[in-house]
Amino acid sequence: MTSRSTESRRSMNRRSFFLGGGAAAGTLGAGALTGQLLPARARGADAPPVDPAELLKAQTQRALRWAGRPAGDWVKPRAGVDQNVVVVGGGQSGLAIAYGLRRKGIGRVTVIDRCEPGQAGIWRNIARMHQLRTPKTIPGPELGNPDLGFRAWFETLNGPAAFDALDRIPRLAWADYLAWYEQVTEAGVRYDTRLVGIEPAGDFLRLHLESDGMQRTETTRKLVLANGFKGAGGVSVPSVLRGLPAGLWSHTDAPFEFTRLAGKVVGIIGAGASAFDAAATALEQGAKEVHLYSRRSYIDYPSSSASTPPPPPGPPGDRGHAFVLELAGELPDEVRWRDWRVRENASASVPLDSLARAVAAKNFHLHLDSDWTGATAGGGGITARISGKKQRFDHVIAGTGYRVDLSVQPELASIQPDIALWKDRYRPPVGEQDDAVSLYPYLGAGFQFQPKADAGVTHLRNIHCFNIAASASFGTLVGDIPSVPQQARLVTAIARDFLLEDLDLAQNRRYAETPFVPRSPAPYQSALGPR
Ligand SMILES: Cc1cc2nc3c(=O)[nH]c(=O)nc-3n(C[C@H](O)[C@H](O)[C@H](O)COP(=O)(O)OP(=O)(O)OC[C@H]3O[C@@H](n4cnc5c(N)ncnc54)[C@H](O)[C@@H]3O)c2cc1C
């Protein structure tokens, strides 16, 4: 299939190729380049004297050369199969998984994304913070090769001092870095291509895809769902807003033209980082008043600067396995359940800079201990009943996050009744029940769906779920940067399945039984016998 990404790559010049995103998308304004190549005065005094783009290009080529060529495709072709693996989602997770599969020697891997080139993930559309919420030094999609990491990319373009000067990673710099990573790892994402349905086809999966308004099917042996926080049930909408006219309210997850809020009174439900970022954006775009409501009596925020990871604890302070996160999936059901239940019900931690950005405005009002019990539309706005009082807004924003409920995820409609959920596999003790956690899928060690019953639905094991729904099984928010290195577990599981499914015992026996024929003694002939 010819894709737009192929076309855009074809038309890209070499310099922009090695710089990353702005050029990849071909449509991004100068603002989008923030953090990519800083102006000379902002680059560190120790910035390299040569053209940084050329330096990055040479360094990356060398790193890829030193990493060695990926193994050739060892997966046996199967009749009637278009792909070995289809990865849904060209965000950081999907890109890292595709690269991991390639390094493992698994060919015929394709990544699809429903969005336009340059818009994959959240970074250029619905994320509104100035800088990432995670520390700038945590490992991510580089898969252990530091030359493919954010730091190498940023420092090579801007100098080590510029990196040192960062508090955390600028959001758009992260977007540019991912676009560069996509190019150098040759992910070949097929944009404008949406997965709309999945059906079993014997040992394989038939995928229903929509591309440029056309429907088509493609058959694959494996499917990876790397479709993000929204990919396992969508956004969580407060019941008071459901049913109100769409134009009067929005969710922080939706792209939204905040200039529309100039001169308006805005209400925000929820007190997580995205809610504060939306409040600040609305205020910066001229909102008359912004009121943010939390049901809790406090706002949580990190105790130390988020720019550096916390020091190693004395005895472990939290769940006891913070430094071996990759092993959280090995913990007993009881521990995984309890940990995720705590996490689900914990208040969101808001970075101090996000908090300060909103609080700085005089027309920002924070309301704690506030419960929205009703809302009606009228007169071009919404009148809400909040803790017994009435308040009118021109627009309301739900900053209420995401939910996991596979039964409402359209592309899973025909297969989800057979997927084992936590409620099918684990019965929590009295006092530890949790309706939200019970709806998470109970995944296998390689992120595979498990069938509720063993008979007849083995195809589910060929669907690997690397999105928010995997979080309860793996004890980490799957999709965020710290979870990306866990792709190794998924990649190994896929490779294992291919190896075992394709094992030809007769061929293996023939190999073992082939008599050994010694080579010619010519190279050592002269040393034989008396000399
Ligand atoms: C506002 C916000 C801020 C965040 N900040 C941070 C942070 O600072 N640090 C951190 O570690 N984490 C952060 N996260 C969490 C996480 O890192 C991001 O959500 C990240 O984008 C997840 O990457 P991903 O590749 O798993 O999914 P996404 O980036 O969401 O990418 C999923 C892709 O799948 C595509 N897709 C979805 N459905 C289909 C379909 N049916 N067919 C084809 N394509 C499809 C989408 O178009 C999208 O491009 C943040 C999350 C949010 C929402």
**Which CB contacts under 8 angstroms, 24+ apart, belong to 160-165?**
160/44, 160/46, 161/44, 161/45, 161/46, 161/47, 162/38, 162/42, 162/43, 162/44, 162/47, 163/44, 163/136, 164/44, 165/44
pLDDT tens-digit series, residues 70-88: 788 999 999 999 999 999 9
156 lines ligand 1 (CB under 6 A): no
pLDDT tens-digit series, residues 188-239: 999 999 999 999 998 899 999 999 889 999 999 999 999 999 999 999 999 9
Res 26: pLDDT: 27
Of ligand 1's atoms, which has the minimum distance to the CA of residue 169?
A: 8
* CB neighbour class for 456 (10 Å; exposed up to 12, middle 13-18, buried from 19): exposed
470 lines ligand 1 (CB under 6 A): no
133 lines ligand 1 (CB under 6 A): yes
CA 19 to chain centre: 22
132 lines ligand 1 (CB under 6 A): yes
Q: Distance from the CA of 479 to the center of ligand 1, in angstroms?
A: 6
- Which protein residue has the closest C-alpha to ligand 1 atom 26? 479
Helix %, strand %, coil % for the chain, to 5? Answer: 35, 20, 45
52 lines ligand 1 (CB under 6 A): no
214-225 and 463-465 as β-strands: parallel, antiparallel, unpaired? parallel
- Which protein residue has the closest C-alpha to ligand 1 atom 38? 227
Question: Best mutation site among 229, 325, 476, 481 for ligand 1, i.e. most ligand atoms within 8 A of its Cβ?
Answer: 229
Res 363: pLDDT: 98
What region does 167 belong to: left with phi over 0, alpha with psi -120 to 50, or beta?
A: alpha
Res 319: pLDDT: 52
Res 294: pLDDT: 97
CA-based nearest residue to 490, from 223, 144, 236, 116? 223
List the chain pLDDT tens, one digit each, 531 residues.
333 333 333 333 333 434 554 333 322 222 333 344 555 555 666 665 678 999 999 999 999 999 988 788 999 999 999 999 999 999 999 999 999 999 999 999 999 999 999 999 999 999 999 999 999 999 999 999 999 999 999 999 999 999 999 999 999 999 999 999 999 999 999 999 999 999 999 889 999 999 988 999 999 999 999 999 999 999 999 999 999 999 999 999 999 999 999 999 999 999 999 999 999 999 999 999 999 999 999 999 987 654 445 555 444 445 555 667 888 899 999 999 999 999 999 888 999 999 999 999 999 999 999 999 999 999 999 999 999 999 999 999 999 999 999 999 999 999 999 999 999 999 999 999 999 999 999 999 999 999 998 767 789 999 999 999 999 999 889 999 999 999 999 999 999 999 999 999 999 999 999 999 999 999 999 999 888
Tokens found for residue 370: 């506030």
Of ligand 1's atoms, which has the minimum distance to the CA of residue 193?
A: 43
Res 303: pLDDT: 75
What are the phi and psi torsion angles at 154 (to 5°)?
Answer: -70, -45
CA distance 251 to 233: 14
92 lines ligand 1 (CB under 6 A): yes
Res 27: pLDDT: 27
Res 49: pLDDT: 65
CA-based nearest residue to 23, from 175, 171, 140, 147? 175
Res 316: pLDDT: 44
